[in-house]
Amino acid sequence: MKLKWLIAGCLLASFAFSQAKTYTTLYPPIGGPYKYQTVIIGQSGNTYNPNLGAQSIPDSDVIALLADGWTTINPSSNNVSIPSTADLLKGNSSGGVLDSGVNLLLGTFTASGCSNSTLTGGTVYLGGATVASGNFKAGVAGTCTVVFTFSSVAHNWACWANDITGQIVFTQTAQSSTTCTVSGAATTNDFVTFIGVGT
């Protein structure tokens, strides 16, 4: 009888451990189109209000919030090194900056094609995956194809992009361990957001 209770206890503890959530502290956007926008995550139904400041976010919601301009870097901290946009686009020679949540800000990616301009964003290593997010303005009317070049990963990159001005979803058309390509219809100066995940 004691053996049955021991086995049942082990199974219950194992189930409870497998259901444990992990969290990441994210900070709301300090600028851009999402600065004051409340975000509702479709899959989880969780709501995040940027006016509440830094929040502990379940890792299942982190990627969606990063795509909406949230960051692991505290923009008001005096003890966190925040690279400039120029540093993010060219990378930094030290190989990354650790933020207070111990996520490595890799900060290296480029985008070519579509005569894109005002490219902004960053890359973090988050829970076993490299996640890049940002935005740019489309420079052509018609088919807009962009190739993102990121740091090398073992299992290729998956990317999503949305023209939020024209409400058009881009399609991923190619991938590799360092690049992914997205394509969609756009109008000149449309605002396009994107996210890439590499593992």
Walk along the chain (199 residues) and give the pLDDT tens digit of each residue: 555 544 544 444 444 444 557 888 888 876 666 677 788 887 778 888 888 888 888 888 887 787 777 777 655 544 434 444 444 333 333 344 433 333 444 455 788 899 988 888 777 776 667 888 888 899 999 999 999 988 888 889 999 999 999 899 999 999 999 899 999 999 999 999 999 988 8
| Bridge partners of residue 174, in order along the sequence | 181
CA angle 150, 78, 68 (to 5 degrees): 40
Q: pTM, whole model, 2 decimals?
A: 0.50
| Separation CA 126–CA 57 (nearest Å) | 13
